[in-house]
Structure 1
Amino acid sequence: MIYTMQKPDSLIFDMDGTLWDAVDTYAQSWNNVFQDMGIDIVVERDNLARMVGWEGKKVIKELMPDFDDEKRQQIYATVNAGRHSLIATMGGTLYDGVREGLHQLATKYDLFILSNCAKGIIRSFIDWAGIDEHIKDEFAYGVNYMPKNHNIKLLAEKHGLKNPVYIGDTLGDGEQSRIAGIPFVFVSYGFGETDDYDMKFDNFRDLTEYFMGLE
């Protein structure tokens, strides 16, 4: 950490790379559809992991460069339709200390999840992780196809947030936080790297301890 932070009124979390790792599940959802459609593409974990945090339009262009946008969107919709049930059965890996940490943090802050994922995926994650009672609201890129800075502002306006912070794991998360005009907390255990942050934590337990200690 490099700054002493003013106590926020709310914590807005990124999902993938911040709360859990579901890359294997996401890759399986792609490969199931490609196989069913007879498309000769195999999505490997390492390749998909480097795209975590990207907006959907960028992901599908990268994965399907030889298809036109209409076909990409059609396949992506099919992938996401199957992803909900796959999350329920395969789940992912919740990072160490997340479930307990959210339980504690919710006693002191309003907690939100905001991610560049398809509509409904955050809800599937919340249900799988059993954290519904701790999360006040969530917002996904797939709801309006707008960048995170825009959706951070929508959440803040909807809930009257005066001093939120965004917690994520990528350079893009930091950039979007800056545009939104709020502090960025970087978690180094996720998928990305950046030196542009207001605070950094190497694990979720330390993050929880810090924010629980603010007065």
Structure 2
Amino acid sequence: MEKPDSLIFDMDGTLWDAVATYTHSWNKAFEELDLPHRVAVEELAKLVGMEGKKATALLMPDLTEEKREEIYMQVNDYRRSVIPQMGGILYDGVKEGLQQLSEKYKLFILSNCAKGIIRLFIDWAGIDEYITDEFAYGVNHMPKSHNIKLLMDKHNLTSPMYVGDTEGDGEQSRLAGLPFVFVTYGFGKTDNYDLKFDNFTDLTQHFMTL
């Protein structure tokens, strides 16, 4: 495995945990739309990292796709308004690690979230100067493998690695032809990885010594 020229990070479960904020946004939307649905933090945690359409189908199987889309848009409006105040939990070592890694690699964030959410996260976490670019599923509703290739083409990346916390992240990395770096502290489990780290500090140390 050659040394990477860049690292592309998943966001939720890899850089931070904002499930409490997301849960608040979902339940606020249900309440405003006078729907009986409610979601618990534990339930939503299992859906983190999924593409929007898949997550809404699992949360609201009784509703039409059109209605689910309407609710999802409202949820994301709430999410955008509350992230700057509520934020989330930045995992230990992330900010310091990104600072160090940015001195040696181009860093990117690519997530299955709505448009605008990654930028709100970057601003909340104070990591803008370390991140070269970001891309969200909500921009084009395409899978991560497709969007990884878009980033690669845009920035002339030859040997990136994708860092994530779910089996889906691993699958999408493979489809894009990238090595997959699995972080075990997030929301998922998988045996499909090239490298594995139990915390962000160890990840940082590994890539800084290459």
Q: Tell me whether the two structures share a fold, i.e. TM-score over 0.5.
A: yes
Correspondence 1:55-134 to 2 at 5 A: 55-134=51-130
Q: 2:188 aligns with which of 189, 192, 197?
A: 192
1:183 aligns with 2:179: yes
User: SS of 1:100's equivalent?
Assistant: helix
Match in the other structure for 2:143: 147
1:91-150 per-position Cα deviation (integer Å, ceiling 9, x unaligned): 000000000000000000000000000111101100110100100000000000000000
Q: 1:172 aligns with which of 168, 175, 178?
A: 168
Q: CA deviation at 1:6?
A: 2.1
1:170-207 per-position Cα deviation (integer Å, ceiling 9, x unaligned): 00000000010010000000000001100000000000
Q: 2:159 aligns with which of 153, 158, 163?
A: 163
Which amino acid in the other structure matches residue 48 of structure 2?
A: V
Q: CA deviation at 1:41?
A: 1.0
Which amino acid in the other structure matches residue 185 of structure 2?
A: Y
2:80 and 2:49 mapped to 1: Cα distance?
18
1:8-60 per-position Cα deviation (integer Å, ceiling 9, x unaligned): 00000000000000000000000011111111111101100001111100011
Match in the other structure for 1:46: 42
1:35 and 1:148 mapped to 2: Cα distance?
32
Gap runs ≥5 in structure 2: none
Which amino acid in the other structure matches residue 124 of structure 2?
A: W
Percent identical among aligned pairs is: 68
1:126 and 1:84 mapped to 2: Cα distance?
13
Normalised by the length of structure 2, the TM-score is 0.99
2:73 and 2:50 mapped to 1: Cα distance?
16
Match in the other structure for 1:15: 11
Match in the other structure for 2:23: 27
Q: CA RMSD in A?
A: 0.6
Gap runs ≥5 in structure 1: none
1:208 aligns with 2:187: no
Number of paired residues?
Answer: 210
